[in-house]
Amino acid sequence: MPQDLKQKNRSKETDLNEEKDLFVWTAPERSFKKRDRDFWITAIAILALVSIILFFAKETFLIVALSGTLFLYYVLATVEPQTITNKLTNRGIYFGDLFYSWADLATFWFGKSLDSHAIYFETYLRFPRQVSLIIEPKHQDTIKKIVVKKIPLVKDEPRFIDKATTWLMSKLPLEDKKAN
């Protein structure tokens, strides 16, 4: 009789090996902001001026690298991202089809990327060092309650590079603020 009772109790317990979805949402796979014609004209003009200076300094490889970087940014700013399904589970996070275990994640914080709100995860992995998932602002509290039980929340303090970039963009805007 005690054996039957133990088997009934086991069947009522949840299976620890079973993966359970804690929160699921769909979002773009990366942040996206469509840029206007004035932005690209300004960026190309700055690249041309810098390239002329670098040409006289015989830095052709740097010119090619800067041109390639601008082209990559152009492609990312014109091709809209796909919509993917992100999941928080009892075992980790899913970024589309990619899985990251809670053991691989060190810390997390919330931030803004272009015009999107995001949650950022720092990993222990060599690559990627950081994973960012686009979220809706209304889901932030729900996500925070789930993730804070697994890994610590840190505050995103602006670093020197962040402050310098913000200052430079305020002094040298590449697009008209009124258009946004």
Pick the CATH number of 21-30+82-157 from 2.30.29.30, 2.60.120.260, 3.30.420.40, 3.90.1170.50: 2.30.29.30
First to last CA, the chain: 73
Domain ranges for the chain: 21-30+82-157
9-37 confidence digits (pLDDT tens): 444 445 567 899 999 999 999 999 888 89
What local confidence, expressed as pLDDT, does residue 178 receive?
61
8-state DSSP, 102: G
- To the question of pTM greater than 0.85 for the whole model, the response is no
Where is pLDDT greater, at 62 or 2?
Answer: 62
**How far is Cα 180 from Cα 178, in angstroms, rounded to an integer?**
5
pLDDT at 150 over 80: yes
Contact criterion met (CB below 8 Å) for 114 and 31? yes
